[in-house]
Amino acid sequence: GNGLRHRAHASGLKIGAAAQPTALAGNEGYRTVLSREFDSVTSENQLKWDIIEPSRGLFDWSSADALIGFAEANGQSVRGHTLVWHDALPGWLANGSFSPEELRNLLRDHIHAVVGRYKGRVDAWDVVNEAVADNGGRLRRSPWMDALGPGYIADALRWAHEADPAARLYINDYAVEAANMKSDALYNIAAGLRRDGVPLHGVGFQSHLALGADLTTLGANLRRFADLGLDVAITEMDVRLPLPATAAQHAEQADLYTRVLQACLAVERCVSYTVWGFTDRYSWVPYAYPGWGDACLFDGDYQPKPAYLQLRRML
């Protein structure tokens, strides 16, 4: 094989991609590139609560099963995304009126059910996603924070650990790549969890970047988390461009992809480098950021872009 996964293999670094259920089910070209290039896959949506339990007590595991089955058939490890988040909650949960005690039981049962079902088959879990608020470094308001207080993070990690003691458990967030107020807050949370003996094994840096992102402090930032005794991972990398993008912008995009890989390779405990979708055909970016796109390593026809070629040369 000659994909990114094979070139990175000697370094021990996993090269991953988030995968979309519809694409995986319906598109041969998509499956070919996903298996050829990547040795880790992340469930882009398949394991979110609204997909798994659309009505209370009615579970639909089909797309998660399909993704994990695909990964096993192709010798890929799996990053499970995500167990506790303020977003992608099913309506019955988001709009229901539950007491704090009921919410605590719902969350514990959810984590036990999902992690337990895939015990031994999911290598790493984004247990808590986007817990830190954007301004001021406080914890974000959410049904979990509002009802259970900050202790929900440690509880969630402990419940996940009960259900699969071998899984690597992460907290994951965005806009924490540089040393800044938000990453300081995340650092303090991680340090506190470690100090208290909570089963936290890693921190995920989403890395949804735009042109001009300042990466000067990325390396030092990754290292300070690693120095807590944690793995670190790039979990959701993409680099959005204003549409239509120019050749110069594609070159700048390639540099950002490469510099993040370089920073990860320089930190021994940086264990994986995952892109949030590998083809512009299915990227979330044009929906989340109207007027932006072209954010992935491959274009909509699975042709490699400069960013892909530059990553390949580096590995």
Residues in the site for ligand XIL, rule: CB under 6 A? Answer: 44-45, 129, 206, 236, 284
**Measured from the CB of residue 55, what is the shortest distance to ligand XIL in angstroms?**
20
**Measured from the CB of residue 248, what is the shortest distance to ligand XIL in angstroms?**
27
Q: Which is nearer to ligand XIL, 204 or 306 (CB)?
A: 204
Taking a C-beta distance cutoff of 8 angstroms, is the pair 296, 20 a contact? no
Calpha distance 303→305 (Å, rounded): 6
Q: Which is nearer to ligand XIL, 129 or 183 (CB)?
A: 129
**Measured from the CB of residue 6, what is the shortest distance to ligand XIL in angstroms?**
26
**Residue closest to ligand XIL when measured from CB atoms:** 284
**Measured from the CB of residue 99, what is the shortest distance to ligand XIL in angstroms?**
28
- Collect all residues with Cβ–Cβ distance below 8 Å to 73 and sequence separation of at least 6: none
Q: Which is nearer to ligand XIL, 155 or 173 (CB)?
A: 173
Nearest 5 degrees, angle CA 99-CA 110-CA 95?
Answer: 45
First-residue to last-residue Cα distance in the chain: 14
Count CB atoms within 10 A of the CB of residue 85: 20
**Measured from the CB of residue 15, what is the shortest distance to ligand XIL in angstroms?**
19
Q: What is the DSSP string of 12-42?
A: T-EEEEEE-HHHHHH-HHHHHHHHHH-SEEE
The one-letter amino acid at 192? G
- Cα dihedral 171, 78, 271, 158, rounded to 10, equals 30
Q: Which is nearer to ligand XIL, 129 or 221 (CB)?
A: 129
Calpha distance 123→169 (Å, rounded): 9
Q: Which is nearer to ligand XIL, 46 or 253 (CB)?
A: 46
- Cα dihedral 290, 294, 296, 298, rounded to 10, equals 140
Q: What is the DSSP string of 39-97?
A: SEEEESSTTSHHHH-SBTTB---HHHHHHHHHHHHTT-EEEEEEEE-SSS--HHHHSS-
**Measured from the CB of residue 44, what is the shortest distance to ligand XIL in angstroms?**
5
Residue 130 known to be catalytic: yes
Residue 236 known to be catalytic: yes
**Measured from the CB of residue 206, what is the shortest distance to ligand XIL in angstroms?**
6
Give me the catalytic one of 37, 44, 236, 252: 236
Q: Which is nearer to ligand XIL, 285 or 311 (CB)?
A: 285
Beta bridge partners of 292: 242
Q: Which is nearer to ligand XIL, 7 or 81 (CB)?
A: 81
Beta bridge partners of 234: 205, 273
Give me the catalytic one of 37, 44, 53, 130: 130
Half-sphere exposure of 114 (CA within 13 A, CB side): 32
Known catalytic residues? 130, 236
